[in-house]
Amino acid sequence: MSEEGRDNPARRVVDGRFELEARLGGGGMGTVWRATDLVLRRSVAIKEVRPSDPGLAEYDPEAARLLRERVLREARALARVDHPNVVTIHHIVDGGPGTYPWIVMELVTGGSLADRLARGPMNPAEAARVGREVLAALRAAHAAGIEHRDVKPANVLLRPDGRPVLTDFGIAAVREATALTATGSVIGTPDYMAPERVSGKDGGPAADLWSLAMMLYVAVEGHHPLRRGTTLATLAAVLAEDVPPPVQAGPLTDVLSRVLVRDPGARPDARQLDRMLAEAAGQPQRTESPTSFPLQPPAAPPRDTVPVPAAPPAGRRRWTLLVLPTAGVALAGALVWTQLPDTGTHANGAKGSGTTSATASAPGDATGSPTSGSRATTTDLLTPQGIRTAIAAFKKETGRDRYASLTVYPEYVVANLMVKGDDAAYDMYTYRPGQGVRKDIISGHVSGDDKPVTLDGYDWDKVPSLLTEAGRKLKVPDPDTRYLVLILPGNAFGDPAGMSVYLSNDHSQTGYLQTDKKGKTVKLMPYDG
C-alpha cells in the first residue's frame, strides 16, 4: 500500500492506483474490497491477503512463504482460464518476498449463490442452468490443468443478469505446481469436499464434479445431506455415509444420484454431465467448445418427477476418520485419513468396525435402550460404562488425563489429550473396542480461550436419561445418528464445562441439548424445521 493510504485510513490506495472503497467480504485469509482503478476509472474487486495472525512471518516464515505462493498461484491460475463463467483477473500487486500480494479482479455485483440460497431453494430447472454454467467454468479450468478444489455456493458469484461466475481459485491444484499440494495438507470446505479428497488423495477433476453436484443438491433440497453438528461428524459422514436420495430435485434427481457416489470412476465425466444438466434444464445440448458459453434465458420450471433412489456403488468401502483439522495460524490444518475394510455395524446403519460384547441401541432408537425385539451386535460406547471404559483405556495407554476434546460415538471415541507439561499442545487418540487406543498422526494446539479439563465431576450416569430427553424433546424426525461432545470452559460462547448430546438424521436435520458437568440441561436446541 502507498504511504498515502497508510497515513490516511479514510483514503487507502494500493500501489498508488487502486483506491479501496468498501469491504465486500472476508475470512481468516484476508479481505475482498470494492475499489476504484484510478488509472482506468473503473470499479474492481481487490483481494487483500493477510494471515489471521499478523506475527506469522516472524515466528513461522515458512508458513508465510507458502501463503504468499498460494496467492500468486491463485492469480496465475485465474490468468490461465479465459472463460465468461470464471472471474477475470486484471492485475497483481506483488512487493516481492516477505510481502503478501494483492489480486485485482473484475467486480461481480450480483451477490453470491450462497446469498441467493439464503432466500430459499431453487427450482430444479434453475439449479440445472446454474450448474451447467459452473460446469462450463470447471471444464475450462480442467482443460488448463487446474482443479478448483473448493466449489461451493459462496464461491459462485452472480452477475446482474443471473449468470454465475466461479471465483476463489486460492487452493486450486495446478498440474505443474505439485510442491504446494504434496505436503499432506488438505484444504477446502468439508461439506463440499469429495470423499477421495477428504481421504487425502488428489481427487482429480471428478472430485470437482462431486462438489458441483453437492452444491446443486443443497440448492434444490434446501439443506445439506451430510452436514452434522460438528466438523468431525460432517467429515465422518462424507466418508462413511451414502447421500440420501433427493426428494425435491425433480429432473435433477438422476444427475445427483449418479454423481454423488463414492467411486470417482463411476461418476459421469464432464461431457456426460453437461448433457444430463442440459436435459434437466430443458436446454439444447451444446455443440460449441466449453469456452464459448451463451447465457440461456430462463425456462418454465418442469413438473417434479418421482425421485429414484440411487443404487449404492459396488464394492463400497468404509472410510474411517482418524484425525480432525488442527488449529492453524494461517494455513489450514492437515487431515490424515485411512481406509479400513467394512466390518460390523454403524450407529446410523452403515457398516463399521465393532466387537460383539454388549447390547447396543437398535438403529433409529435415540433413547439409548434397545427397541423391543431388537438386539444389536456391537458394543455401544455411548453409555456410562462405555464412556468409562474408553476414558480408562486412554489413561492406561497415555498416562494423560487432561482433555482438549472428547467426542463419543456408539462405535468409537475420539479424544484430544494434552501433552504433559504443556497448556496448549495436544495429541489425538481414537479408542475402538477390540482395537484399543491408537495415536493419530496429527497433533494440534488448543485455540482461542478454550481451557483443557480433567473429567473429574462429569456424571456419565446421566447419559441414558439425556439420550431419552433428547429423543423426546429435540424433535428430530427418525434420528439415526447420536453422539456426545465435551464442552470446554472458557470457549468462544462463554459456556461452562459440560457436555452436549446431538441427534441427527439422513436429511441433516439436527438438534442438541447442552448440560453442565452434572448432566443438568442448560440449553435445548430442537430441530426447528
Q: Which residues are catalytic?
A: 150
The rounded distance, in Å, linking the Cα atoms of 174 and 231 is: 27
The rounded distance, in Å, linking the Cα atoms of 117 and 491 is: 30
Residue 514 in 3-state DSSP?
Answer: strand
SS (H, E, C) 6-72: HHCCCCCEECCCEEEEEEEEEECCEEEEEEEECCCCEEEEEEEECCCCCCHHHHCHHHHHHHHHHHH
The rounded distance, in Å, linking the Cα atoms of 350 and 409 is: 13
Give the orientation angle of helix 124-143 with respect to helix 205-221, to 10 degrees.
Answer: 160
Q: Which amino acid is at 320?
A: T
φ/ψ region of 222 (left if φ > 0, alpha if ψ in -120 to 50, else beta) reads left
CB atoms within 10 A of CB 374: 12
Closest C-alpha to 465, from 415, 426, 518: 518
What is the end-to-end Cα distance of the chain in Å, rounded? 48
* Cell numbers describing residue 285: 445440448
CB atoms within 10 A of CB 300: 8
* Cell numbers describing residue 30: 484476508
CB within 8 Å of 65: residues ≥ 6 apart: 97
The helix (run of H) or strand (run of E) holding residue 441 is: strand 436-445
482 touches 503 (CB < 8 A):
yes
Residue 76's beta-bridge partner residues? none
**Any idea of the CA torsion for 50, 55, 61, 65, to the nearest 10 degrees?**
0
